Amino acid sequence: MMTIDGDELLQWEPPGFGPCEEKVLVMVRLRPLNEKEVARNEISVLECIDETTILLSNGLHVHSGNPTAFKFDKVFRGGSSTKEVYEQGAKDVVMSVVSGINSTIFAYGQTSSGKTYTMNGIADYTVSDIYDYIHKHDERAFVLKFSAIEIYNEVVRDLLNSDNHQLKLLDDPERGTVVEKLTEITLQDSTHLRRLLSMCEAQRRTGETPLNETSSRSHQILKISIESSSREFFSRDKSTTISASVSFVDLAGSERASFAVSSATRLKEGCHINRSLLALGTVIRKLSKGNHGHINYRDSKLTRILQPSLGGNARTSVICTLSPAKSQVEQSKNTLMFATCAKEVSTKAQVNVVLSDKALVTYLQKELARLESELRSSTSLSSPSDYPEILREKNMQILKLENEIRELTKQRRLAESRVHDLLQLIGNIQASGQLDDNTWENEDSKPKSSQKVPDIQIPRQSQTSNIGGMWSHDLVGNSNRVGVEMERSNFSEISDDEVGDISGNVFPSANSVNQKEGAAQLIGRSVLNQPKSGSSYGTKDVKQHNMEKPLKSIVNHSPDQHILGREVSDPETLSPITLELNRSLNFRDNVYRATEQGLTDDVEQREGTLSEDKGFSGRRISLRPKLPPSIYNSSDVILSRNGSPSLAGSPYTGKITGEEKVTYKEETSSINASLPKLKAGWGQFEVQSFDSQVSQMYHGTSEKELHPVMISQQQDTPESGWPPEFQRLQKSIFDLWQSCQVSLVHRTHFFLLFQNDPSDIVYWEVEFKRLIFLNQSFEKNRAMNDSNALALSSRSIRHERESLSKSMKKKFTKEEMKSLYLKWGIEKHSKCRKLQLMNQLWGDTTNMNHIAESAAIVARLVRMSEHEEALKGMFQLSFKSSHPKHTLLTCNSLLCDQ
Ligand SMILES: Nc1ncnc2c1ncn2[C@@H]1O[C@H](COP(=O)(O)OP(=O)(O)OP(=O)(O)O)[C@@H](O)[C@H]1O
């Protein structure tokens, strides 16, 4: 048995963090002869001869006859106090609860042998120790809850609710058997808990039997649940919440019915008591044999409820109480037999870790890193000089994907031409006002009834996501997650309906379609929802053609087909980096979806005070995260997450605390401090000169015809030794962000993410190219005077600013806000000061301090400041080879890291 005490508790973890198999701890407690027994001149037939052995004699006296010795983990003689029983046996098991391990302690024995006497004492000492522990560990926040039931005549009752209702047992796939509608009270302090314990004692069914005037006629289960997490806002432990419960089970007397019975009521009780104890005994006996087979926990409510403690994931201890009196020798023998079987039962104790969303993201990141490192293990490249090699390798992968794209493009064309035919047909049908067999021009073109037309697939609305207003469309679709993503608002040529996943539903048989509605279903919303004017087919045709244009324009934006120095031979080939980025963002999208539910929960918790039932967010590591479908837009991401998507707040939060409000100054300085790292990193990374590329990328112009922004930047004096190429590129990006009205959250994410690793330059390049495209799209909209498209993008950034301004109050203290207004020159009595501030952010693209401060403010508002790496992992955009420690991504390492 492992010893856990005091401060070591939180560091304790079972070997390998996985389940730790251990035997049930079995103790025997002998009580002294009571007054009645003494009065009857009873003699003692039981004696503890050492700390682990008890002798039972069938004869007149324990030393006469032929005593049988029974050995247990611990035996306590009549004179032992309950304190000794607790300290020397029970404490070790019950206090596992504070380290996240469920534990259970049973009292088993015949009536009047001292079960209640022992359990009350043990519960009392446990309460003291738990609260002692909590006081010594004020770096962690604890939430304690209490519930209590009794099982009387196979009926479960809530001891904290006096209405006597019968409670149902439900089977929960994740939590096992749960008691429905059970009262669970959040504890304030030890006095509160003791008050509740007395209340349960008063509520419990007792009755008079010949052996015990206040005999407990029911099985009582008291349960204290403890959840704890670090109080520190940025603590490494914060992301891990541990949660466990300790149960105190005081069973009803194990005597035979006839033995203690004095009335019909007692007889009925005795039958039920015996039935459940018999089921308990059977379960224990089967478990003790090791060869488990089917264990029928469902034979009684008692065994159903106690299932986790019997061979489950709890640490379990059984205290068998005995009367030494000769008159009860048979009952004592039964108790000792039960104890002997219980000794052989094993459980698999396990730390119950509840992962916060943040920890879940970290976990997924690490898992990803591990998988990536496995993939790369053949090359094991690590130094910056190896980056070109990595790039080459990636290019190879990209070429492979490009081939796939070509193949899929062919397939799409084929499908389109069939859709074309079919639409024409439907056009005819619509024209004739009727869809009947005559519509089909000839028998061959008419699909047979109940026959599918397998290779015609309907374009359907693609799942789009628009996180922070960016990266919304996947042009190729889910089956081939390679495509080009671009900002929805700036890509007005493509509507949701057009951006399709060609792997839609298989066409239904034509014969089943005999009405216009049928036809509408047949060709799908994306086609029939076209404007009524003109032929729907014609419109679709044009739009399908347009759909290809952006793809081509991305490829063709550089006249000589150079993308990052790689020649692109096929005009349909996409930029490798675009492809890589897309893959990353799809991954990010998935992670966001996976965490969104928890994040929303987190927000709910922040907004209200901590309720009894919602003390903690987060998921148990063993549970699969639910993946609610979600479509993001820039305002959603800000409003619903209450912060950056990867930065799900604390697993345990009531209201935002003062600690949470990390000062704005700290954030700004941390961002400023990290800028030199980029500078240093630049030197190590072999980069091509961007000057020529950059100039060519602006509308295919030569260096002489630079964009005005670039020209002005070229005239700038380089600041503090930054490589001028990078400065120019970065400033161009800042300008383009501004002119393309790119989401502030995106700018901040990007700016904060890509500044520590020399290889990040690649992403700046990619971002630049993407922005060039967006800018062209913008220009086109302007040229076409497409006020709708332009208004849409302005609206989206305005919404974002409004959303950010709304969250300012929560994220900044009044003083901080005041000093921000002062600093940013916002008049004291002017209106909408928060919005004014938001409108200024990211505006001065020539001033690096302005940029860093803007990023710090936005980061603070969406809580992303210290998590660049986490976000980067989510974007899956690091070329860094994984650190070896990441390869051992087990729960164990996760916990250790925390
Ligand atoms: N170790 C002990 N030392 C002194 N008195 C004890 C001890 N154990 C039990 N007693 C006394 O014996 C009496 C019966 O104890 P208790 O009610 O705990 O028995 P029980 O096993 O719970 O009985 P039942 O199953 O009928 O509820 C009580 O008055 C209690 O104070």
CA distance 27 to 573: 74
Q: Which residues span the domain enclosing 856?
A: 725-862
328 Cα: distance to centroid of ligand 1 (angstroms): 14
Give, for ligand 1, the residue of 112, 205, 273, 334 to mutate: max count of ligand atoms closer than 8 Å to Cβ.
Answer: 112
Q: Is the pLDDT of residue 669 over 90?
A: no
Query: Counting atoms of ligand 1 from 1, which one is nearest the CA of 113?
Result: 21
Residue 872, C-beta contacts closer than 8 angstroms, at least 6 positions apart: 753, 754, 878
Hey, how many other C-beta atoms are within 10 angstroms of the C-beta on 319? 28
* Residue 501 in domain: no
The alpha-carbon radius of gyration of the chain (Å, integer) is 36
69 Cα: distance to centroid of ligand 1 (angstroms): 24
- List the structure tokens of 445: 């073109």
CA distance 476 to 463: 11
Cβ pair 481, 460 in contact under 8 A: no
Query: Counting atoms of ligand 1 from 1, which one is nearest the CA of 31?
Result: 1
How large is the average pLDDT for residues 310-324? 87
Confidence of residue 607 (pLDDT cuts 50, 70, 90): very low
CA distance 856 to 863: 10
Of the candidates 218, 107, 98, which has an alpha carbon nearest to the alpha carbon of residue 154?
Answer: 218
Query: Counting atoms of ligand 1 from 1, which one is nearest the CA of 34?
Result: 12
Q: Is the pLDDT of residue 652 over 50?
A: no
How large is the average pLDDT for residues 618-629? 33
- 3-state helix/strand/coil string of 824-870: CCCCCCCCCHHHHHHHHCCCCCCCHHHHHHHHHHHHHHHCCCCCHHH
Confidence of residue 767 (pLDDT cuts 50, 70, 90): confident
Q: Among 300, 323, 355, give the residue marking a domain's end.
A: 355
Where is pLDDT greater, at 433 or 123? 123
Residue 683, C-beta contacts closer than 8 angstroms, at least 6 positions apart: 723, 758
Residue 168, C-beta contacts closer than 8 angstroms, at least 6 positions apart: 156, 179, 180, 181
122 Cα: distance to centroid of ligand 1 (angstroms): 14
pLDDT score, position 213: 62
Confidence of residue 544 (pLDDT cuts 50, 70, 90): very low
Helix residue ranges per DSSP H, 32-171: 35-39, 82-85, 91-94, 115-136
Of the candidates 598, 614, 619, 616, which has an alpha carbon nearest to the alpha carbon of residue 141?
Answer: 616
How large is the average pLDDT for residues 863-871? 51
* Residue 328 in domain: yes
Ligand 1: residues with CB < 6 A are 31-32, 34, 109, 111-117, 212, 215-216, 252-253, 321
Confidence of residue 615 (pLDDT cuts 50, 70, 90): very low
Highest mean pLDDT among 258-267, 274-283, 796-805: 796-805
Query: Counting atoms of ligand 1 from 1, which one is nearest the CA of 30?
Result: 1
How large is the average pLDDT for residues 542-560? 37
Hey, how many other C-beta atoms are within 10 angstroms of the C-beta on 548? 15
Q: Among 312, 333, 355, give the residue marking a domain's end.
A: 355
Of the candidates 625, 878, 867, which has an alpha carbon nearest to the alpha carbon of residue 757?
Answer: 878
47 Cα: distance to centroid of ligand 1 (angstroms): 18
Q: Is the pLDDT of residue 531 over 80?
A: no
Kindly report the backbone phi and psi dihedral angles of residue 464, in degrees, each rounded to the nearest multiple of 5, phi listed first.
Answer: -115, 150
* Residue 460 in domain: no
Residue nearest atom 13 in ligand 1 by C-alpha distance: 112
Residue 584, C-beta contacts closer than 8 angstroms, at least 6 positions apart: 875, 876, 877
pLDDT score, position 65: 58
Tell me the residue type at 385: S
pLDDT score, position 328: 86
**pTM of whole model > 0.90?**
no
252 Cα: distance to centroid of ligand 1 (angstroms): 12
Residue with tokens 């996240």: 100
124 Cα: distance to centroid of ligand 1 (angstroms): 16
Confidence of residue 282 (pLDDT cuts 50, 70, 90): confident
* pLDDT above 90 coverage of the chain, percent: 15
Dihedral of CA 822/826/832/836: which sign? negative
Q: Is the pLDDT of residue 138 over 50?
A: yes
Confidence of residue 637 (pLDDT cuts 50, 70, 90): very low
Mean pLDDT of the chain: 65
Query: Counting atoms of ligand 1 from 1, which one is nearest the CA of 252?
Result: 25
346 Cα: distance to centroid of ligand 1 (angstroms): 29
* Residue 138 in domain: yes
469 Cα: distance to centroid of ligand 1 (angstroms): 70
- 3-state helix/strand/coil string of 169-193: EEEECCCEEEECCCCCEECCCHHHH
Dihedral of CA 552/553/559/564: which sign? negative
Of the candidates 323, 318, 344, 273, which has an alpha carbon nearest to the alpha carbon of residue 122?
Answer: 318
pLDDT score, position 64: 58
Query: What is the SS3 assignment for 308?
Result: helix
Q: Is the pLDDT of residue 431 over 70?
A: yes
Give, for ligand 1, the residue of 116, 151, 323 to mutate: max count of ligand atoms closer than 8 Å to Cβ.
Answer: 116
Residue nearest atom 8 in ligand 1 by C-alpha distance: 114
Residue with tokens 């970290």: 362
pLDDT score, position 223: 93
How large is the average pLDDT for residues 419-447? 61
CA distance 798 to 792: 10
Tell me the residue type at 584: S
275 Cα: distance to centroid of ligand 1 (angstroms): 23
pLDDT score, position 685: 35
* Residue 286 in domain: yes
101 Cα: distance to centroid of ligand 1 (angstroms): 30
Choose the weakest-confidence range: 107-116, 547-556, 746-755, 843-852. 547-556
Residue nearest atom 16 in ligand 1 by C-alpha distance: 114
Residue nearest atom 31 in ligand 1 by C-alpha distance: 117
806-841: pLDDT as tens digits: 888 888 888 889 899 998 999 888 889 999 999 999
Q: What Å distances lie between residue 302 and 114, 178, 218, 287, CA to CA?
A: 20, 12, 10, 16
Cβ pair 628, 390 in contact under 8 A: no
Q: Is the pLDDT of residue 622 over 60?
A: no
Confidence of residue 220 (pLDDT cuts 50, 70, 90): very high
DSSP 70-91: EE-SEEE-TT--HHHHIIIIIH
Q: What Å distances lie between residue 254 and 25, 110, 280, 300, 405, CA to CA?
A: 20, 4, 11, 15, 73
Residue ranges of the binding site: 109-116
Distance of CA 59 to the CA centre of its chain: 63
Q: Among 314, 339, 355, give the residue marking a domain's end.
A: 355
CA distance 261 to 258: 5
Highest mean pLDDT among 247-261, 584-598, 647-661: 247-261
Query: Counting atoms of ligand 1 from 1, which one is nearest the CA of 209?
Result: 26
CA distance 756 to 116: 63
CA distance 487 to 466: 8
* Helices and strands, counts by H and E, the chain: 29, 27
89 Cα: distance to centroid of ligand 1 (angstroms): 19
Residues in the chain: 898
Q: What Å distances lie between residue 121 and 91, 124, 192, 767, CA to CA?
A: 12, 5, 17, 68
Where residue 249 sits, what CATH number does that domain have?
3.40.850.10
118 Cα: distance to centroid of ligand 1 (angstroms): 8
Count Cβ atoms within 10 A of the Cβ of residue 243 and give its class: 0-12 exposed, 13-18 middle, 19 or more buried.
buried
Choose the weakest-confidence range: 232-246, 618-632, 718-732, 771-785. 618-632
51-91: pLDDT as tens digits: 999 988 765 555 555 678 899 999 999 889 999 999 998 99
Residue nearest atom 23 in ligand 1 by C-alpha distance: 112
Give, for ligand 1, the residue of 117, 216, 335 to mutate: max count of ligand atoms closer than 8 Å to Cβ.
Answer: 117
CA distance 281 to 284: 5
Of the candidates 404, 741, 419, 408, which has an alpha carbon nearest to the alpha carbon of residue 548?
Answer: 408
- Give me the helix-helix angle, 576-607 and 761-783, nearest 10°: 90
Query: What is the SS3 assignment for 319?
Result: strand
Residue with tokens 């490192």: 373
Q: Is the pLDDT of residue 543 over 80?
A: no
Choose the weakest-confidence range: 490-504, 652-666, 751-765. 490-504
* Residue 391 in domain: no
Residue nearest atom 15 in ligand 1 by C-alpha distance: 114
Residue nearest atom 26 in ligand 1 by C-alpha distance: 215
Query: Counting atoms of ligand 1 from 1, which one is nearest the CA of 217?
Result: 27
566-591: pLDDT as tens digits: 333 343 333 333 333 333 333 333 33
Q: Is the pLDDT of residue 191 over 70?
A: yes
214 Cα: distance to centroid of ligand 1 (angstroms): 9
Confidence of residue 240 (pLDDT cuts 50, 70, 90): low
* Residue 298 in domain: yes
Query: Counting atoms of ligand 1 from 1, which one is nearest the CA of 82?
Result: 1
Give, for ligand 1, the residue of 35, 150, 212 to mutate: max count of ligand atoms closer than 8 Å to Cβ.
Answer: 212
* pLDDT above 70 coverage of the chain, percent: 53
The bridge status of strand 103-109 relative to strand 315-322 is: parallel
Considering its fold, how many domains does the chain have in total? 2
92 Cα: distance to centroid of ligand 1 (angstroms): 24
Query: Counting atoms of ligand 1 from 1, which one is nearest the CA of 250?
Result: 22
Residue ranges of the binding site for ATP: 109-116
Kindly report the backbone phi and psi dihedral angles of residue 23, in degrees, each rounded to the nearest multiple of 5, phi listed first.
Answer: -75, 155
* Residue 560 in domain: no
112 Cα: distance to centroid of ligand 1 (angstroms): 5
